[in-house]
């Protein structure tokens, strides 16, 4: 899959997730970096910011071809 297609599919998926689903993705993330977000913080950031954080994590930690 080319990187443009991966990016578009990833953005479209993240745009459909609810706050609880986004929080779950961050709290349960198993990747090359360690994430440490509190529920208090995740509950106070805007939904758009939460989506941005998830997108940044996913794109930063995507497997390299």
Q: Is 29 helix (H, G, I), strand (E, B) or coil?
A: coil
pLDDT tens string 8-38: 999 999 999 999 999 999 999 988 888 999 9
51 in any annotated domain? yes
37 in any annotated domain? yes
54 in any annotated domain? yes
CA dist., res. 5 & res. 33, Å (int): 24
Q: Is the pLDDT of residue 5 over 60?
A: yes
Average pLDDT, the chain: 89
> What contacts 33, CB < 8 A, 6 or more positions away?
57, 60, 61
What percent of the chain is modeled with pLDDT above 90? Answer: 66
19 in any annotated domain? yes
CA dist., res. 20 & res. 5, Å (int): 26
17 in any annotated domain? yes
65 in any annotated domain? no
Number of domains in the chain: 1
The boundaries of the domain holding residue 44 are 3-60
């Amino acid at each position: 899959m080319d990187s443009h297609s991966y990016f578009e599919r990833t953005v479209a998926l993240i745009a459909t997730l609810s706050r609880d689903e986004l929080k779950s993705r961050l709290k349960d993330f198993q990747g090359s970096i360690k994430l440490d977000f509190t529920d208090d913080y995740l509950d106070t950031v805007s939904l758009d910011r939460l989506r941005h954080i998830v997108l940044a994590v996913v794109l930063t930690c995507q497997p390299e071809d």
